[in-house]
Chain A
Amino acid sequence: MNVVTPPEKLTPKDFATDQEVRWCPGCGDYAILKGVQKTLADIGARPENTVFVSGIGCAARFPYYVKTYGFHTIHGRAPAFATGLKLANPDLDIWVVSGDGDALSIGGNHLFHLLRRNVDLQFLLFNNEIYGLTKGQYSPTSRQGTRSPSTPWGSLDNPASATVFAIGAGARFIARGIDSNQKHLPGVLARAHAHKGTSFVEIFQNCKVYNDGVFENFTGRDVASDRQIYVEHGKPLIFGKDGEKGLRLNTQTLSLEAVVIGDNGVSEADILVHDETNKMIATLLADMEPPAMPVALGVLYCAPGQSYDEEVTDLIRSHTPAEKPDFNKLLRAGRTWTVD
């Protein structure tokens, strides 16, 4: 089952295990798995140095299907496990795979602290706005009014925005993709991988069985071009079928407006240029919701800073003496006395 000497250039197939993939037919996870395996091949990942860590839920089965090291932990705790793993071996390349329940409900606390610490790993949140594995209850990202077995008259609580949460928690890399957009997703994942620190990626993932079509209002063929905006650093924030629409910053209300270039005297110069290092722009982009505004996709925010594991490594290095310290000396430090 294991390849001793991996070939020089690995293909996506080399990252597939012999385990039967057990997601429901048509699940968005299949597409994401494909996208991740392609990314691993693209970036030249070494299987022996790569670890996929997950919590509980449909998405959490992911590690079993990627031919690297993998660990399927317990509900919500993958970030904590991954942090400990990184402290044990900072050289490992770690991917955490999670869902909206795992990451934002039972594991919300851990995700918050992972992001604030900025542990160097990739965190993929498969958001399908529903609990799949427990059979269809609403999740913390479900829209208000979601009917589910536990909310027969519609859910009452306000949903959380994964990306706004991530910004608030201090994430330094925030990106978004869509399961079915295979042209776009591997590029986003490669960027996430290249970033030092916690790279937070929200992937809109369709649950065929319990929440089919929940993202149709911006992923549907008829609306996609008007309700999605692929943001790129240094480029104007334009969208629409012919790139005729754009985002303009209203400096009076400090908010973004979707405008049509040419209408009402709007010119290309009025369109805001994306600066992925700007936290304020990232916040405004993360907060946009259809139908009034397009959904922002791509790298919303990227502002590298020192990662926690790097700081720990530096601290250890600065305290490590040239010679291995004598353990007996440690035991004898401080006040001692001798009995003859």
Chain B
Amino acid sequence: MSNTALAEKTSDPSHRETVESAVVRFAGDSGDGMQLTGGQFTLATAFAGNDLSTFPDFPAEIRAPAGTTFGVSSFQINFGSRVIKTAGDAFDMLIAMNPAALKVELHGLKQGGVIIADTGSFGERDLRKAGYDSNPLEDGSLDGYHLVALDISKLTMEAVKDTGLSKQEALRCKNMWTLGFVYWMYGRDRKPTADWLIAKFGKRPDVAAANVAAMDAGHTVAETMELPDGVHGFHVDAADIAPGTYRTVTGAEALAWGLAAGTHLADIKMVFASYPITPASQLLHSLSKMIDHNVVTFQAEDEIAAACAAIGASFGGSLGVTSSSGPGIALKTEAIGLAISTELPLIIVNSQRAGPSTGMPTKTEQSDLYQAVLGRNADSPLCVLAARAPADCFDVAIEAVRIAIKYMTPVFILTDGYIGNAAEPWNIPDINDYAKIPVNFRTDPEGFHPFLRDDDTLARVWAVPGTPGLEHRIGGIERDYDSGNISYDPDNHQKMTDTRFAKIEGIAKDIPAQGIEDGNTSGKLAVVGWGSTYGPISRAVANLRTQGLDVSHIHIRHLWPFPENLGGLLKEFEQVLVPEMNHGQLVNVLRAEYLVPAEGLNKVSGQPFKITEIEDAIRARLES
């Protein structure tokens, strides 16, 4: 996808080749600090004015046995002078800190791509651990690539020898040495990272100095050494980015800020209750720091308690929010039914991961759509929203707060491990540009009963304990439509069930009509996505449209209820293709709802779609 043209040799080593975009993957052992290195490269790249998207890909083990393939931790970044929509397909440069990293990641490197490898970590024992019979750096097996083989371990030791660090501590600086090297390759400024190192190791100035020295040494070596034939520095122009104040943001951060923004706009307290689970815990961590913004966090004893505490908080007049990943959401199911039944606002965040059961906790998937839309006992409708990208989480969270409060209903936010951990630049919005979210606590005892409804929205009144004259008793037992008292009356249950459905269906009138992301509103093929498939679908459709193919991209944020015009829109297309990182869920909901001949394109490898995979599927349908 990038225009990096490494095959074109340049004779002038100081020449920097200008490329429109590049994909770099840092890979090493879990203990090599690759996520941190990638994070710093991301910041430096953002400061250079490029658009970017990242994909941290790490094992579930905190410290897997060193040097093993299953202990490899990687960080991928795609950056460029054009709009970047995904973390990139094949990469232009692979940094392999050990043989295991090379073994695991080589297949993703472009033919002719650059490999930067630490020969100091390619000893016989390291090779054996990674399952190599011979040293790939020497046996010719990498002939199709440009190999920069350096003894980074030794070079790092030399660079920091005057700092008095132990050998072990000194060796830990090799990620910064490598980062310095890659900084030179892409013309990045080292200062932000140097500042960051000094701040991070405030109490250990020797460690900070060693890391900075290592980074500088790596940079100098890249600048002065004679790079192998065909390897040279690159230049990436600044992207044409809208004016504004920016920061990089991960999905988990944007979601935390979005939820807090929602309760800020509603001017009520948020009680966030959750139980740690990968990859959802980051949300708890982020919100825990927002105690000065009317956010109370509660690490409950389990998933069920978290959901119940959130519901209790909503009964008390705060906005209860709970969060988990698929297995934890399963445990919350009964409680979600209680919130549906008692018609209280509640937000449930699901950071989806590969399943079923424990599955692959650190790997992404979007296989909980059925669980969110349908996965409860009895007829129990609620609202489901999905975020498409890290920054999008902010707006989706505010929308979830709006709907939960206005309609007195649980709202699911579906995000996933990829969105949660991935970062992108974010044009920070002004909170004052967002509409306030009205909260109408009932105070008037006149004519009050707890199941009084708003004529338009059918939302129940929100009457909170502490309000004189509104004392009432509610619970999970069916309530009488006209009094809120317990009722086993058959007609009443029919009426209440119908009302619960009508209330949720009515939300469709209060959300934006489904638009087209790219392409025409009718034609041969619509590619319909939701969630984190946005990036690859968007790029694939754009690429093929420039080649003249009649394809449009529709991306659904409001997954339940759907926008009112969605069915009509889909019927304007001869074919509908639904790429999903699951075995086919939205595709079946669309078929069931609208009787459209939608087809699935499914991937459950724990990795995001590659653009080419979607392009191939589109071509297969349009060019057959």
Contacts and interface: CB of A to CB of B under 8 A. Distances in A.
Interface of A: 1-6, 17, 19, 47-54, 63-64, 66-74, 77, 79-89, 91-92, 109-110, 112-113, 312, 315-316, 319-321, 325, 327-328, 330-332, 334-340
Contacts of A319: 291-292
B191 interface: no
Identify the 3 closest CB pairs spanning chains A and B, nearest first: A72-B475, A88-B316, A84-B309
Contacts of A316: 291, 296
Contacts of A340: 243
B309 A331 contact: no
B304 A332 contact: no
Contacts of B445: 2, 4
B293 A330 contact: yes
Given A84-B310, A89-B466, A92-B466, A17 B473 contact: yes
A84 B257 contact: no
Interface stretch (B57-65, B423-431, B574-582): B423-431
A83 B312 contact: yes
Given A80-B304, A113-B305, A3 B469 contact: yes
A84 B316 CA distance: 8
28 contacts: A2-B469, A6-B468, A47-B471, A51-B465, A52-B473, A66-B473, A69-B473, A71-B342, A71-B473, A73-B475, A73-B476, A74-B335, A77-B308, A79-B305, A81-B312, A87-B296, A88-B314, A110-B308, A319-B291, A325-B293, A327-B261, A327-B431, A331-B428, A331-B429, A332-B428, A336-B246, A337-B247, A338-B243
B467 A84 contact: no
A171 B121 CA distance: 55
A339 B243 contact: yes
A79 B302 CA distance: 12
B449 interface: yes
B607 to A, nearest CB: 29
Contacts of A52: 473
Contacts, number: 211
A50 B467 CA distance: 10
Given A4-B445, A84-B308, A91-B466, 9 more contacts: A1-B483, A48-B465, A49-B466, A71-B312, A84-B320, A87-B316, A89-B466, A338-B244, A338-B246
Contact of A337 (B246, B312, B317): B246
A6 B261 CA distance: 39
A315 B241 contact: no
Interface string B247-264: 110000000010011001
B150 interface: no
A50 to B, nearest CB: 8
B409 to A, nearest CB: 17
A216 to B, nearest CB: 33
B244 A69 contact: no
Nearest to B261: A327
Interface in B40-62: 43, 46-47, 49
Contact of A48 (B273, B428, B469, B474): B469
Contacts of B448: 2
Interface string B507-544: 00000000000000000000000000000000000000
Contacts of A110: 301, 304-305, 308
B466 A85 contact: no
Contacts of B300: 80, 83, 113
A48 B192 contact: no
Given A334-B247, A337-B246, A19 B486 contact: yes
Interface residues of B, number: 74
B46 A84 contact: no
Q: Which of A50, A53, A339 has the most CB of B within 10 A?
A: A339
Interface string B313-338: 11111101000000000000011011
Contacts of A83: 298, 300, 305, 309, 312
B192 A335 contact: yes
Nearest to A327: B431
B449 A1 contact: yes
B246 A85 contact: no
Interface in B473-488: 473-477, 483, 485-486
Main SS at interface, chain A: mixed
B245 A85 contact: no
Contacts of A113: 300-301, 305
Contacts of B273: 84
B135 to A, nearest CB: 40
Nearest to B430: A328
Interface string B423-448: 00000111110000000000001001
B165 interface: no
B343 to A, nearest CB: 13
A125 B318 CA distance: 28
A340 to B, nearest CB: 6
B126 to A, nearest CB: 36
Contacts of B192: 335
From A73, A84, A85, A113, residue with most partner B Cβ within 10 Å:
A84
A89 B308 contact: no
B449 A77 contact: no
Given A73-B476, A336-B245, A338-B245, A325 B312 contact: no
A48 B486 contact: no
A123 B584 CA distance: 47
Contacts of A64: 473, 475, 486
B312 A335 contact: no
Given A88-B269, A92-B466, A327-B431, A339 B241 contact: yes
A49 B465 contact: yes
B271 interface: yes
A339 B296 CA distance: 35
Given A48-B466, A327-B261, A332-B247, A87 B471 contact: no
B470 interface: yes
Nearest to B337: A74
A15 to B, nearest CB: 10
Contacts of B313: 84-85, 87-88
Given A2-B471, A319-B291, A87 B309 contact: yes
Interface in B269-291: 269, 271, 273, 290-291
B428 A89 contact: no
Contact of A2 (B301, B315, B470): B470
Contacts of A68: 471
Which of B248, B264, B334, B466 has its CB near the most chain A CB atoms (within 10 A)?
B466
B428 A336 contact: yes
Nearest to B338: A74
Contacts of B185: none
A156 B273 CA distance: 38
Given A72-B476, A74-B338, A87 B318 contact: yes
B472 interface: yes
Contact of B43 (A6, A54, A92, A335): A335
B149 interface: no
Nearest to A46: B468
Contacts of B46: 337
Q: Most chain-A CB neighbours within 10 Å: which of B429, B464, B465?
A: B465
B242 interface: yes
Nearest to A88: B316
A116 to B, nearest CB: 9
Contacts of B304: 77, 80, 110
Contact of B431 (A5, A73, A91, A328): A328
Contact of B290 (A81, A84, A315, A330): A330
B468 A4 contact: yes
Given A87-B298, A110-B301, A339-B49, A80 B312 contact: yes
Interface in B182-223: 192
A25 B548 CA distance: 80
Contacts of A6: 468
A74 B464 CA distance: 20
Given A1-B449, A48-B470, A73 B296 contact: no
Given A84-B320, A87-B271, A330 B471 contact: no
